[in-house]
Amino acid sequence: MVHPAHLRVASLLAASLLFGFAASRPVLGDPVQATPAKAQEKAQNKTPAATCDREQFHVIIDVGHSAEVPGALSARGVGEYTFNLSLAQAIEQKLRQAGFVKTTLLVTPGKAIAGLISRVNYASHNPADLFLAIHHDAVPDRFLEKWTYEGKPHNYCDRFKGHSIFVSRYNPDYKASLQFARLLGLQLKAAGMQYTPHYVEKFMGQRQRELVDPEAGVYRFDNLVVLMSTSMPAVLFEAGSIINRDEELVMASHEHQELVAGAVTTAVENFCQAQGPRKPQHQIARRQQNASANASTPPFLFPFNFGVGEQHH
């Protein structure tokens, strides 16, 4: 899970957010011209052409946190990073099996701020078609209770369960971010999973979020750096609550990870079909749009969320 903090590091991040973009992917040549009669016959028998080039469609799977800063602890004392890495690897494997061979598993070692800057810089200098951050959820400290597992004291909270999906309206392609988030939420729903509704409640305080898609379970999290500062559609996926004792066991199971990975893969397939791989001119347009968005972003860049300290939301 991700966490809020008030820090004076704006100048450091500003330097890291001067994005450069790699150029280009191959563009197919012009189609062969047909005679009017043949063209009419072809049009009558034509099925809708697939726009998804899986071999060129690039997905970055960002593993939340690091071995050094493992994020939230589960009800049995396991670091969130362990869950994030395991699920991200399952998703990467499933995507590659489906033909998305450019899928990148982004593992960022080190401390929180350095890791955050590395994530954003990598995504910015390796233009992709989608950025998906993988996390697992916990709860604010005031909801925690005590229990003993294997002779050791641990915290837990069985009050909340379920996944959640976040987007930022400050992302340079908010519309596409929301589109993928909705596709993902609907696939998870079709697989029998439910999102957690408690982020809309007033008792969440500063962690309260606006639910922008009640059907798919998509929330707005505008000032989350990995969502607002990446140069591509970006979504953060909290796969479930590992502070919930029952859900922790579900999150750790191979069967559930495969189910989630399948839902993510189908969502990526549908998103790719709708978007297609970005052309060089699209990358340039995104770069210009991103520069404009950064210039017009409200001055309250902080507090931002990066993964240390008190538990998120």
Question: Tell me, what CATH number does 146's domain have?
Answer: 3.40.630.40
Q: For 121-134, b where at least 16 C-beta lie within 10 A, e where not — what string?
A: bbbbeebbbbbbbb
Q: For 100, phi and psi rounded to 5 degrees? A: -90, 75
Dmax (CA) of the chain = 80
Residue 15 within a domain = no
Q: For 301, phi and psi rounded to 5 degrees? A: -65, -20
The Cα 244–Cα 231 span in angstroms is 34
Query: Which of 83, 64, 62 is closest to 74 using CA atoms?
Result: 83
Residue 107 within a domain = yes
Burial class (CB in 10 A: 0-12, 13-18, 19+), 76: middle
* Residue located via tokens 């071995």: 67
Q: Range of 130's domain? A: 54-305
Cβ–Cβ < 8 Å for 68, 109? yes
Residue 13 within a domain = no
The Cα 217–Cα 63 span in angstroms is 21
Residue 38 within a domain = no
Q: For 16-28, b where at least 16 C-beta lie within 10 A, e where not — what string?
A: bbebebeeebeee
How large is the angle between the packed helices 254-275 and 245-252, nearest 10 degrees?
Answer: 70
Q: How far apart are the first and last CA of the chain?
A: 9
Low-confidence ranges of the chain (pLDDT < 70): 2-50, 276-313
Enumerate residues 6+ apart whose C-beta is below 8 A from 75: 147, 149, 154, 155, 156, 157, 242, 243, 244, 245, 248
Residue 249 within a domain = yes
Q: Into how many domains does the chain fold?
A: 1
pLDDT at position 148 is 98
Burial class (CB in 10 A: 0-12, 13-18, 19+), 282: middle
Tokens read off for 211: 């639910």
Q: What is the pTM of this model?
A: 0.77
Tokens read off for 269: 């397939």
In sign, the C-alpha dihedral spanning 261, 216, 74, 225 is: positive
